[in-house]
Chain A
Amino acid sequence: MERIELNYPAKRKVPRRAHVGVVGSGDLEVLLEPVEGNSAHVLIRTSVDGFHDTWKAVLDRFFSKYDGVVRIQINDAGATPGSVQLRLEQAVEASES
């Protein structure tokens, strides 16, 4: 299991926290919650080691459009980048609705 931490600048307050997904094979769990400050913090724990650059690329792309001041925790059981992107978008949708 590998631990990856990433930080991004952010400015917008997010209405509520959200939890989506399951730590099942090829899937992941996302916990997104509003925090104080002007940055977003991401903690990833993944069962598949050695994919730091891929995770960073997926999160870089996500935060190129998203500006919520949040803490995101990802518990991953080998999801593909596409699944990660969709779960992140699902979490955002749940936290804004």
Chain B
Amino acid sequence: MAALTIDAAGLRKYYGNRAAVRDLTLQVLAGEAFGFLGPNGAGKSTSIKMLLGLVKPTSGRALLLGQPVGDRAVRARIGFLPEHFRFYDWLSASELVSFHGRLCGLADDILRYRVPRLLERVGLSSQQSKPIRSFSKGMMQRVGLAQAIVNDPEVLFLDEPTSGLDPAGRKLVREVIREERDRGATVFLNSHLLGEVEQSCDRVAFIRHGEVVGMYEMGAWQTDYTEVELDVGGASSSALARLATIEGIAVLAQEARRLRLRVPDEDSLPDIVRCLVESGTRIYSVVPQRVSLEDLFLRTMGPDPGL
């Protein structure tokens, strides 16, 4: 088993009687991209702040890279792009990334070469001398991303990194996440854009009311939830009864020519088709219905869990 980058057990944070995080218990493996999802007010940002040492937990314990969170040596090995990031907007992009590099302990010699490359990587080469106050939100996000990876972090925390970004910017973030993971870094991603998470992460955790209510390998839930929709003609009750004899198959709905089945996996589709054809059913189409991360999220959280 890979080493644990994040190991949190029973983390709780109360503000008076109000629980921001009730019981955060999760483990993140070294080198994986981990999605951290939940509705508004679920305690995601507070959880991230606790893992970064910005907020002290009321109780519980958490280790980051094997050390207690907040440890200074550990902070030298992490990068962080805050959700509502604000920077010194009177600095230029180049000055800001250099400033954060220096705060990481990087020497000026290194920063002289690294900063222009980072800004080139995030698409701000031509803007590096302009003050940040003249930047759009998307450009600010790109500068934020550059400062987060200036120290080649072992763990990269990204809190809503794609908010405010156009499609090209979102693609850039996905690329950076993939590159960081390929380099061996662990990426901890909090985002409301589930499509982005689905494309970027290896595992996801769902958090609700400050507790982890589900954790999945990306796509692994398809085994449990694969559904298939068929457009059929003349599906008799005997055909359906025969279909039900195949192990693991359940008829979810039948309406006019539409037949919806739950199947163990996509490998069982040829057997289903054969069974129906042998029963005299005419098949016009067979479409596996993949359960998206968003579907899974809504099933776990309910249709409107945030309010």
Q: Do these two chains interact? A: no
Interface residues of B (CB under 8 A from A): none
Contacts from A to B (Cβ < 8 Å):
none
